[in-house]
């Protein structure tokens, strides 16, 4: 589950796992049958940077939408070995959280009180996800998002060309705009 709204102060949106009989409210976005792979990528710095730049806002807090944030995100290509590594690192994030059973996700992801082991687990996951996009580390979120937008443009370019081709067709007797 992904909260629809999350504090702008957070470095990561606190994703979680729900099991029956929990019934989510309308304030949660649900990824049905998500695996550790999806959890790892969506909880990464890459996805968080994407969300911060293209997602909506409620006041100044991050607002998460499946159509805008998730569906437009350019997912990295990964070999089975790379996926396994991301899954292991995602599990390490969950294990770091589990070390603090009395803390809520809000407590764990408060930037002022985030436990060092959780921050370290996220750092390792972030580095591994970033390497799926390119070997050299990103200098920061701006560079990361610029790279992601380049990938996004490559994904939508065929659709843009198709749309332009359809608009550019002239029917017999149709005048082109001046």
For 75-92, write each residue's pLDDT tens digit.
999 999 999 999 999 999
Share the mean pLDDT of the chain: 88
Own/partner pairs, 47-56, CB within 8 angstroms, 24+ separation:
47/73, 47/129, 48/11, 48/12, 48/13, 49/141, 49/144, 49/145, 49/148, 50/145, 50/148, 51/13, 52/141, 53/141, 53/145
Per-residue pLDDT band at 2 (split at 50, 70, 90): confident
Non-local (6+) Cβ contacts of 58 within 8 A are 5
CB 114 within 8 A of CB 108: yes
| Mean pLDDT of the region 50-60 | 85
Per-residue pLDDT band at 64 (split at 50, 70, 90): confident
């Amino acid at each position: 589950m992904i909260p629809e709204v999350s504090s702008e102060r957070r470095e990561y949106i606190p994703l979680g796992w729900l099991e029956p009989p929990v019934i989510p409210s309308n304030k949660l976005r649900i990824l049905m049958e998500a695996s550790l792979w999806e959890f790892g990528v969506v909880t990464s710095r890459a996805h968080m940077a994407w969300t911060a730049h293209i997602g909506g806002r409620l006041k100044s807090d991050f607002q998460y939408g499946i159509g805008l944030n998730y569906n437009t995100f350019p997912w990295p290509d990964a070999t089975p070995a790379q996926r396994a590594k991301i899954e292991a690192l995602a599990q390490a994030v969950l294990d770091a959280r589990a070390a603090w059973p009395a803390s809520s996700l809000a407590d764990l992801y408060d930037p002022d009180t985030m436990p060092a082991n959780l921050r370290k687990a996220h750092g390792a996951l972030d580095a591994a996800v970033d390497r799926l996009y390119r070997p050299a580390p990103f200098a920061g979120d701006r560079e990361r998002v610029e790279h992601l937008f380049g990938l996004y443009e490559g994904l939508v370019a065929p659709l843009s060309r198709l749309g332009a081709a359809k608009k550019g067709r002239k029917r017999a007797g149709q005048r082109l705009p001046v």
